[in-house]
Amino acid sequence: MGFIRDSIHGDLHLTDFELKILDTVEMQRLRRIKQLGFTNLVYPGANHTRFEHSIGTLFLANKIGTQLELDNEIIELLRVCGLLHDIGHAPFSHVSERALKHDHETVTKEIISDSTITDIINDKFDTKLITSIIDGDTKYGKIISGDLDVDRMDYLMRDSYYTGVAYGIIDTERLIYSLTYEGDDLVLSDKGVQAAESTLLARYFMYPTVYQHHTTRIVNSMFRVSLKRLLEDKVVTEEQLRYIDDGDLINITRNTKGLPEETMRNIDTRHLYKRADNIHLQQYEDPGKIVEMDKKYLREAEEAIAYKLDLSPEEVIIDMPEELSFKKMSIQVKTYHGLRPLSEVSTIIDSLKKAQYNYADLSLYMSKENKQKAIDKNIKIEDYLTLPV
């Protein structure tokens, strides 16, 4: 048995079995993977890691399991799922992921199924069951990956704390004690609707303020273009990214001549790209179609704009915002009239389906000098990209 002092949840106890997993190179690597990528360039305190978030998720999984009065073996299983749910993240987390063929969920399952962790897990649990739960499947999957899961609860609290942005403060106690089972379905009691609303509103406000802050999006976009070059030139492979950390990738980038080295120099000196044009998505009838459009059309538009300005395609970036996906929410509320979708019980949640695009925009980024060229030639995204309506 061991204890870890967490800045969010206080003293967290870990079993000998969990400590064994925690001491593997795969888990220790998460100490050097920032939770929010380059967000510390905007919020200097945002240096927290996937490691502490994983432990926090374990803690909240334990709390929900205890509240639901699940068997001790199931609670132990949920704790391990919470601990391992992010183990497949590449350096800089979601920043890198948009440049890769495989998402972190896929890599997480591969690591759990075939690594030094696998033998440890097999002593006590079925690895296929663990990956299923992390995927949100089985009776217990929604605790780890669902509309109101422990992953989201922890990262909202943690990201809010380290960025100093108050929007992410949520009432986890009320929310956790409002969750119950109806058969095999995790549902919300009617007394927990306000706690659910505050959680989803916190997520809504954290997106434009932190996760999709315009400067963060610019830096992330610049770094992704650089990473794509590294992958294309086989300086690094996707397979290698599951073994290296933020510092390793920074060093590789900084020491690779050409675009990667130049990108890191610009980030180091804050010579960041500027926004040359943008299109607000809320003006369209179905913004979700735009967010989900094939990214090859963005690349074609980038190439066309670059040709017009006599630039390399890599000097032109059209960045698509991430979607909040409130429209996919499926959690049910236990009311006097039976189970009803949360979006029907709460008009606030229903409104968030539309409001999620209030701050979303498709943005054109380029260097300060190239931005002036774009202004001189009156470059507009809409002239090079046909958007679905």
- For the stretch 269-328, pLDDT in tens is 999 999 999 999 988 888 888 888 888 999 999 999 999 999 999 999 999 998 777 766
Calculate the average pLDDT of the chain.
94
pLDDT the model gives residue 169? 87
Each domain of the chain, given as residue ranges in start order, spans 2-213
Q: Which of 238-242, 258-262, 280-284, 363-367 has the lowest mean pLDDT?
A: 280-284
Q: Are 253 and 293 in contact (CB under 8 A)?
A: no
Query: DSSP states of 59-115 as a string?
Result: HHHHHHHHHTT--HHHHHHHHHHHHHTTTTPPTTTHHHHTTSSS-HHHHHHHHHHSS
What length does the chain have?
389
Q: Are 82 and 54 in contact (CB under 8 A)?
A: yes
Helix or strand (DSSP H, E) at 170: none
Please state which CATH number belongs to domain 2-213: 1.10.3210.10
Phi first, then psi: give them for residue 173, nearest 5 degrees.
-60, -50
347 pLDDT band, cuts 50/70/90, is: confident
pLDDT at residue 353 greater than cutoff 90: no
Task: State how far the Cα of 132 lies from the Cα of 225, in Å rounded to an integer.
Answer: 33
pLDDT (mean) for 220-247: 96
pLDDT at residue 389 greater than cutoff 70: no
350 pLDDT band, cuts 50/70/90, is: confident
pLDDT at residue 263 greater than cutoff 90: yes
Radius of gyration of the chain (CA): 22
Tokens 């890191």 label which residue? Answer: 264
Q: Are 27 and 87 in contact (CB under 8 A)?
A: yes
Percentage of the chain modeled with pLDDT above 70: 99
- Neighbouring C-beta atoms of residue 4, cutoff 10 Å: 18
pLDDT the model gives residue 110? 96
pLDDT at residue 57 greater than cutoff 70: yes
